[in-house]
């Protein structure tokens, strides 16, 4: 059996989040390429719990890079996506982050998910 990566676990969580109703101002995204991998509910719920424990600006980083990556930022390069997400986070929370901080928070969270579940 292949070990799941943090990225695998995060995309499982995304599939789980999209399996329910859309929340707030989040845009629903349905991939042109359906992902038929089954959702591991336990893993998704652990990621959800971990995500909910983050400060709001860190939660928004994860949202920008996973559930809203294609819906809000799909037409952008990685650097442009980060820049737009940083503006979104600053406008919403008042927290101004650098690109380095953004990448650091994202990587730390993904790593924590992987260590906890993989």
With beta carbons less than 8 A apart as the criterion, state whether 50 and 112 touch: yes
Task: Tell me the pTM.
Answer: 0.85
- What is the model's pLDDT at position 18? 86
Structure tokens at 69: 């990556």
Q: Which portions of the chain are predicted below pLDDT 70?
A: 1, 20-36
With beta carbons less than 8 A apart as the criterion, state whether 108 and 101 touch: no
DSSP codes joined into one string, 47-72: HHHHHHTS-HHHHHHHHHHTTTHHHH
- What is the model's pLDDT at position 29? 53
Domain boundaries, the chain: 6-19+39-117
- What is the model's pLDDT at position 32? 47
Instruction: Write the pLDDT tens digit of every residue in 87-98.
Output: 999 999 999 999
Instruction: Write the pLDDT tens digit of every residue in 78-88.
Output: 999 999 999 99
DSSP state of 26: P
């Amino acid at each position: 059996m292949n070990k799941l990566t943090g990225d695998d676990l995060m995309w499982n969580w995304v599939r789980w989040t999209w399996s329910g109703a859309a929340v707030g101002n989040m845009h629903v995204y349905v991939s042109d390429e359906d992902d038929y991998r089954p959702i591991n509910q336990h893993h998704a719920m652990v990621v959800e719990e971990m995500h909910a424990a983050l400060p709001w600006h860190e939660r928004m980083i994860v949202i920008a890079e996973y559930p809203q990556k294609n819906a809000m930022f799909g037409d952008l390069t990685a650097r442009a996506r980060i820049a737009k997400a940083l503006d979104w986070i600053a406008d919403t929370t008042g927290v101004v982050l650098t690109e380095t901080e953004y990448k650091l928070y994202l990587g730390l969270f993904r790593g924590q998910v992987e260590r906890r579940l993989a």
